[in-house]
Amino acid sequence: MTDILHITTPAAWEAAQITGELRPESLAAESFVHCSTREQLAGTLARHFTGSGDLLVLVLGAGRIAPLLRWEESRPGEAYPHLYGPLPVDAVASTEPAGPVPPA
């Protein structure tokens, strides 16, 4: 089974635990939450998060998000998982540090 991952900040994750859901800016701007697979994670971090400081990777329980999940081409020939709705806190199976992200 493919891990579905979402990258966020520790502060956003902490706030989500209070409200029960994570609503990244992309949800309002694009109507979905960007996610990645393990294989896509390093590229996503390098392209979109350089110099972002501490980040967390949320590992999502696929069964918990299945009704909201769509695989769509974001880069030519490569489908990324997109979550069409807020990310419920109870859909997060575990969290991991994102590891070092190079400075901008």
Contact residues for 102 (Cβ-Cβ < 8 A; gap 6+): 46, 50, 51
User: CATH number of the domain that 91 lies in?
Assistant: 3.20.170.20
Give the tens place of pLDDT for each residue, 13-53: 999 999 999 999 999 999 999 999 999 999 899 888 987 88
| 15: in domain | yes
Domain presence at residue 2 = no
81 - beta bridge partners? 71
Residue 95 has a pLDDT of 96
pLDDT digits (tens, 9 = 90+) for 80-91: 999 999 999 999
Q: Provide the token pair at 38.
A: 């393990």
Give the pLDDT of residue 102: 61
Residues 6, 87: Cα–Cα separation, whole Å: 9
Residue 104, in any domain of the structure: no
Asked if residue 102 is part of any domain, the answer here is no
Give the number of domains in the chain: 1
The per-residue pLDDT for range 55-100, each reduced to its tens digit, is 999 999 988 899 999 999 987 888 999 999 999 999 999 999 997 6
The predicted pLDDT at position 4 comes to 95
Give the sheet arrangement for strand 69-75, strand by strand: 33-34, 78-83, 69-75
Q: Which residue range(s) make up the domain with 47?
A: 11-97
Q: Are 46 and 7 in contact (CB under 8 A)?
A: no
| Residue at 21 is within a domain | yes
